[in-house]
Structure 1
């Protein structure tokens, strides 16, 4: 894969070379640690193109004050032909202005690399397992699952783009009581499909119409064999049959969002393979599970029938939890935590790092599952980094009012309904326009609004606008050309400077595991493009197509095409298609 050394990394290397020279000159002690030296865009673009804190963080080991050390660093940097100016700011920051050639080189790099511009090798050799969605297989995908699905999928694409090997995993919770309820609900629809009048759906069953086709499929598969049979005979068969049909429906719903997983792991299969027992044995051997009495629930009066029960408890208090947690229930079945622990042990066998995307309602479980994974992976001799990303719920609105529910599902808005109404791209981009841990409103009317307040439209419009400029240029006989990039002025260069931040944004988003940074960046780039376009309304020389100046027009069309490429690369990371026209 072609790699592009980001502009920021290239100048970090040049500053590093200056620091090495200062060591040789005796200004810095040999081997001074440089880990905290950063090179980044200044907060205010008026201050220059790059800023470094080198003098601030190295003054102490150099036994001098930051401004004095900054003076020595600047003395070297001013001799660099790629640097047009270096100045000391405030207590000792150094601001750099780069020679224009750096920016035209960046345009050439975007042209050369195309869809690979922004790719990184930072994750090379690392295998990351990302588990996301993992909805119970009891019904169609609904809005409660949508945000986590998009965040997980965009994070997977981002980490791949940054060089990691990624496994996208879905954990099928097919071992709990809710799956027995599903089997009973499906059996009811099966009897209905055989012509029986089953009356109203009983309380506690799944009422949605989505089980009607499952009942019909069961009638075709089994005939009337189980119509009057005792439950013990049909329950395990209907459980497996209904879960399989539900997972087909879930996969189809996710596909509407452009999401496909590599691995589907079954909780029932995990338990059948004895994985929880193996995890318990290992934890007992390392004194992390013991038989103890579970305390009464804190802050509540225990129920009258509550009595202390001896259960196998995980020592989660060792890891900051407020009490030790049971891994089995009093009937010997695994608790959700016990099964989950074994599942994470299984995932850790094939990965260098684990990431889970969970709904915010699981916040209470994070500490103990992280503790368990830390204990297990340390015991295996490799500490596996494990990150849990919590995603807040989305409030669905229609013109500011709560949105109505779907008939198919019984009581919620499905992903299929949403995609049908506003389209996959709008749903995906919208879900990334806020940090996942922030509350979010999704208003069906607002997300399709054609205004600059709607980031989905704003970014898509920027790409469509560029496509239109290039079409219009071709109609008028102009083609993008790199021959006269020296004619581009300061306003043009501001666009290039924003585009040049894309590879750095990718690395930062991948490092922090925050795909929404790419959506934020695209909104900024689109904003710059629209602002530049508006300059042309007041000054014809600032237009992309300046009819009487073919050389400048060729350079501007080359610039426009490169900005379009960066927008496409960013949108592709988010799983959103760039439109040619709106």
Structure 2
């Protein structure tokens, strides 16, 4: 249950009552009405802007409307106090039983606690990773993979029907370069001295593996053959091989895609022609000459007629070319077709997760998506900034296999999948991330992975001890929900934990709407902090310990509380794709 949504709906009902009583006009627009935690906890448990946003259409001063609402709210048995703050905000304090009921809700729902119907099973396509199949995944790809995967899980928890998609960029110049680089390594595998890798080809050691595998499959079949014959064979073999590596690496990271879409297959099927014809039929394509790009000198610029999309009609800075000088399609044309294809597959809510170097591409792609779908589809692009890999504050050395970067597999093998996934979500996606191999495995409160996992492990440790202290007692979630007398929970720290857990359903919905899965990591850190505060208080005050000898009733109530904490932590970690630990060893 989302207590904030409950009160939001109830306040709307109170406004209907006031309208029925003739105190305010009927039919006021309450779309902007919110109920949320106050900015300062000292101001109460819930705060609503109802009087502020409805005062003018209601024809009353904000505080006068707030007084009418407060009078209604004070009659509720679950409201301990209702006060007007500032120009007309209404702050509420709820009774302790409301928060105790939230604990019972957690125990009843289990890790499904926080699930929402917000999305109404609306289809949403989340496309992420989508690295060019020209080499192994690197750490920055890992950040996009974790972000996209956690966002997909978050949207599912919020009630959306999610498709996880990888777009294979297997058309264009970069895969031809891959084919030529593979052919060179193929000849090397057959014993030829290839010397220095020529400029413009991929130098990574990983291509030796590809060349060797091709030589084992085809022998000397391509030696002496024309490029028109060996290039497609080398290119296709390399793409297939590297895509298998990518899928294996994603599997190690815990990422499973629902769909792999091929750019080449899309082009071959005529999807680009179809998309551009649709734009042309709407008068959105013309032949024209663009102004020189900023920073170009006149002698660097050759104005020429180009086939252009009217991107500026949809918020872009300039109109965009759809064809190259040789008449072939630009990458942009292919991407228009791809997003049109997603729309035709039923995805009008599209989310793309890209690397930071694609920032200049966002406006044109959003403009094109709006245009090609006639405004029916929306595209949200989330850019993931760089990951700085360090060890004890010093940059790590390059991977021998990759030659120019540290592979994602290297990172996972060094610290483990769960650490990688958690740390990748400890910053907003649009902020750079420092990943220190030493610090991310450090057992200290400064390490968010350890801090959250330690809270879960401590909860599980107490429950194991309880099973010994209360032999034969049923300590399952369902039994605790039914049996525990939660009225025995009355300390400030216990109520703080209950209130924090009550905000989890709201967090799920707000993070899903904002497409910000990092909020889950922040929330879990706050919940762990509240739990550790109670644990530490119990070390000094024995009356606050979880297992109280001679008082089974309070013991069971506190076991219900920490079972709920462990459950909410597990629920949040599931969104992040992280396994909660039962115990931590140094």
- TM-score, normalised to structure 2, is 0.95
Asked if the contact 2:484–2:560 (Cα under 8 Å) also holds between the matched residues in 1, the reply is no
* Greater RCO (CA < 8 Å, at least 6 residues apart): 2
Once the two structures are TM-superposed, the CA of residue 408 in structure 1 deviates from its matched residue by 0.8
| Residue in 2 that maps onto 1:395 | 388
Deviations 1:353-407 (A, max 9, x none): 11111112111111111111111111xxx61121111111111111111111100
Where in structure 2 are the equivalents of 1:116-515 lying within 5 Å? 116-304=112-300, 306-350=301-345, 351-378=347-374, 383-477=376-470, 480=475, 481=480, 482-489=483-490, 490-515=492-517
Contact residue 129 and residue 168 of structure 1 kept, 8 A: yes
Give the number of equivalent residue pairs.
Answer: 574
Name structure 2 gaps, 5 residues minimum. none
Distance (Å, rounded) in 1 between the aligned partners of 2:378 and 2:318: 24
Post-superposition offset of 1:63: 2.2
User: 2:277 and 2:14 mapped to 1: Cα distance?
Assistant: 56
Alpha-carbon separation, structure 1, partners of 2:158 and 2:58: 36
Please report how far the alpha carbon of residue 454 of structure 1 lies from its aligned counterpart in structure 2 after TM superposition. Answer: 1.2
Q: Distance in 1 between matches of 2:24 and 2:257?
A: 52
Match of 1:9 in 2: 5
Q: 1:551: which partner in 2? A: 553
- Partner Cα separation in structure 2 for residue 446 and residue 138 of structure 1: 32
Following the alignment from structure 2 to structure 1, what is the Cα–Cα distance between the partners of residues 485 and 178? 67
Q: Tell me the equivalent position of 1:107.
A: 103
Write the deviation string for residues 82-126 of structure 1: whole angstroms up to 9, x where unpaired.
222212222222121212222222112111111211111111231
Aligned 8 A contact 1:123 1:163 in 2: yes
Cα distance in 2, alignment partners of residues 575 and 509 from structure 1: 16
Query: What is the Cα deviation at residue 204 of structure 1?
Result: 2.4
1 CA distance for matches of 2:92 and 2:293?
A: 60
CA deviations on 1:60-93 (whole Å, 9 max, x unpaired) are: 2232222222222111111111222212222222
Residue 429 of structure 1 aligns to a residue in which SS?
helix
By how many angstroms is 1:491 displaced? 2.0
SS at match of 1:355: strand
Q: What is the rounded CA distance, in whole Å, between the counterparts of 2:280 and 2:538 in structure 1?
A: 72
Contact 1:126 1:352 in 2 (8 A): no
Q: Note the C-alpha offset of 1:349.
A: 0.9
Separation (CA, whole Å) in 2 of partners of 1:483 and 1:526? 23
Q: Secondary structure at the match of 1:369?
A: helix
CA distance in structure 2 between the aligned counterparts of 1:368 and 1:37, rounded to whole angstroms: 34
Counterpart Cα distance in 1 of 2:94 and 2:318: 57
Using the alignment, how far apart are the partners of 1:454 and 1:524 within structure 2? 13
What whole-Å deviation, never above 9, does each CA across 1:297-351 have from its counterpart, x for those lacking one?
32221455x4322220111222333322111100112111111111111111111
C-alpha contact 2:4 2:35 (8 A) present in aligned 1: yes
Q: List structure 1 segments (4+ residues) > 6 angstroms apart after TM superposition.
A: none
Distance 2:459 2:558 in 1: 11
**Match in the other structure for 1:44:** 40
Q: TM-score normalised to the size of structure 1? A: 0.96
**Closer/same/farther in 2, CA of residues 262 and 303 from structure 1, 3 Å limit:** farther
Deviation string 1:189-244 (CA, Å, 9 cap, x unpaired) is 22222233333333322222222222222122212111222222111111111100
Q: 1:302 to 1:266 in 2, by over 3 A?
A: farther
Shift in Å, 1:431: 0.8
Q: CA deviation at 1:352?
A: 2.4
Gaps of 5+ in 1: none
C-alpha distance in 1 between matches for 2:550 and 2:302: 90
Counterpart-to-counterpart distance in 2, 1:439 and 1:125:
33
Structure 1 CA distance, aligned partners of 2:303 and 2:109? 66
Q: Partners in 2 of 1:17 and 1:318 — Cα distance?
A: 43
Q: 1:297 to 1:44 in 2, by over 3 A?
A: closer
